[in-house]
């Protein structure tokens, strides 16, 4: 797969939001060996992550550690599956804070996660716009 501008590291923007190698490995289990499965996975992620993000926001506002844990656990795993490693790390941190009922700390990390999520979304939409 060729490098896109998003893959080129910009010191201002930090590391690339998406590790393309993670998505590339899905060619091995794609029925036709192409990027179709990876694109489907990305679309599923875009469709489902927004709702889970809303659940996280509500759990923090309602100070509900168990709801926060469940939502961050689920989003951590799917975020890692689409190769957004920095964002997955933030959700992992949030999950640990939920287990420790550290809601105020979680609110701070969540702001960071939301910014990173926006970067990830842009990268994912760029990826989908590429010819399959």
Partner 1 sequence: MNDRPWRILVADDEPVTRELIKAALEKAGFQVFLAEDGEDALRQFSDVPCDMVLLDVNMPGLNGHQVCAHLRRQLGEEFPIVMVTGMDDMASIERAFEAGATDFIAKPINWALIGHRVRYLFRGCQVLHDLHAANRRHMAILDALRAVGLQLSLDDFGTGYSSLSYLKRLPLNNLKVDQSFVRGLPDDRESLAIVRAIVSLAKNLGFTVTAEGVETADHARVLGALDCETLQGYFIDKPMPAEHLPAALTRQWRREDLS
Residues found near partner 1 in the complex (CB under 8 A)? 25-26, 28-31, 37, 40-41, 44-45, 47-48, 70, 73-74, 77-78, 80-82
Q: Which is nearer to partner 1, 51 or 130 (CB)?
A: 51
Q: Which is nearer to partner 1, 44 or 108 (CB)?
A: 44
Q: Which is nearer to partner 1, 29 or 131 (CB)?
A: 29
Least Å from the CB of residue 72 to partner 1: 11
Least Å from the CB of residue 108 to partner 1: 23
* DSSP result, the chain: -PPPGGGS-BTTTBS-S--HHHHHGGGGGSTTSSSHHHHHHHHHHHHHHHHHHHHHHHHHHTT-HHHHHHHHHHHHHHHHHTT-HHHHHHHHHHHHHHHTT-HHHHHHHHHHHHHHHHHHHHHHHHHHHS--
């Amino acid at each position: 797969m060729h490098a896109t501008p998003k893959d080129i590291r910009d010191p201002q923007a930090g590391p690339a939001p998406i590790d393309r190698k993670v998505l590339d490995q899905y060619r091995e289990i794609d029925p036709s060996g192409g990027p179709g499965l990876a694109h489907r996975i990305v679309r599923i992620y875009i469709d489902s992550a927004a709702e889970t993000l809303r659940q996280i926001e509500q759990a923090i506002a309602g100070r509900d550690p168990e709801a926060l844990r469940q939502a961050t656990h689920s989003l951590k795993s799917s975020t890692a599956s689409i190769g957004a490693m920095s964002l997955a790390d933030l959700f992992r941190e949030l999950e640990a804070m939920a287990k420790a009922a550290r809601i105020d700390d979680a609110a701070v990390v969540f702001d960071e996660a939301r910014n990173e999520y926006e970067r990830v979304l842009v990268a994912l939409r760029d990826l989908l716009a590429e010819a399959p």
